[in-house]
Amino acid sequence: MGNLFKLAELYNTDKKMADHGYVLMYENLLEEKRLTAKRILEVGFGSGASVKMWLDYFVNAEVYCIEYFDKEYTDVWKSPSTEIQELNVVRGDSTKEDTWRGLPEDFDVIIDDGSHFPQHQIATFLNGFKHLKSRGLYFIEDTHCSFEEIYGNTDMIYKWVFDMIIKQQTPGRNYGGNFYQFRNAIDGIAKEIYSYSFYKSVIVFEKA
């Protein structure tokens, strides 16, 4: 197994194989960016395990984290220290545009492991995707939570994604299937998405 697997175990992040198992996906998708990535950001500090893992994994990158510091931070995570060397902590609500103001606009990777409410994941994406560089990757984790009662028991996040996919396809009706002729006819942020990938409990977007 690659170094990311070892780091996930070392810092005991729930991304490790024994928990969510996300490290397998991340190892496959991020290995080629490990040495070249300049900036990455994770939404949600939690215990701090994940950002410590990313700091060690992306050896040449600046690592940022947005944390709301609400009741979950104090009651669930017991207010862990964010004083981690070389970590840039941004205090604020990721669903609010003001929180993103002043942040770099060339992140190689953005990971949303913050609020698992689908409406918050969508709002965070609409803010954060603008700060992703071309061919950068944006991850929304824990999409299975949408189907739990506490998070609304809804397929909202998937309907939203597939609505964007449909918006990308429908202008092609009158262009003979030539995507490049009708790209400018696509409305909204769908125009900026190059590809979508679906994993268990994770949606990945690649920026055009």
Catalytic residues: 116
3-state secondary structure at position 107: strand
3-state secondary structure at position 67: strand
d(CA 137, CA 134): 9
Q: b vs e for 116-152, b when ≥16 Cβ sit within 10 Å of the residue's Cβ?
A: bbbbbbbbbbebbbebbbeebbbbbbbbebbeeeebb
Burial level of 110, CB count in 10 A (0-12/13-18/19+)?
buried
